[in-house]
Amino acid sequence: MNLKISITEKPTKTFVINEFEDDKYEYRHKYRDFKYHLIIKKGNLTLIDTILTKKNFVKNTEEKFLEIARFYGYWFNKIENNKIELFGIISKPETDYSYAFKHYFDLKRLKFEIKTEIEDEEI
């Protein structure tokens, strides 16, 4: 198939702030957010060259969630049936509050699709 898939994590200029308090103190932690540069090539032909941010997935999440969560990671998983399967997580720091998704790139149609209903064993 002669495919080359490159995913590069790049820091953004924005931060997510996680605030909480205990009996004596109020804490405020800042976490840098990230974007991911995805390049897929077939031989010398570039099929996709794009930057993905958590905003790309806003239609699948609530805007308020995106304000408190960071784009935690984006990875290549596998190639099957002419589809490249990628996997991503957007999460609120130091919590289990997260949005996991599978992101597919169809090599025939050259289009993306997202699957959000992921079972724990798929992660």
Does the structure show a pLDDT above 70 at 121? no
pLDDT-wise least confident of 52-61, 65-74, 79-88 = 52-61
| 8 Å CB contact between 57 and 65 | no
pLDDT in tens, 21-51: 888 999 899 999 999 999 999 999 999 999 9
- The range of the structural domain enclosing residue 58 comes to 3-122
- Does 9 score more than 60 pLDDT? yes
Number of folded domains that form the chain = 1
Give residue 18's pLDDT.
86
Other CB atoms within a 10 A radius of the CB of residue 66 amount to 19
Q: pTM (2 decimals)? A: 0.85
Does residue 59 have a pLDDT over 90? no
Which residue did the predictor score with more confidence, 19 or 78? 78
CATH number, position 62:
2.40.128.510
How far apart, in whole angstroms, are the C-alpha atoms of residue 14 and residue 11?
8
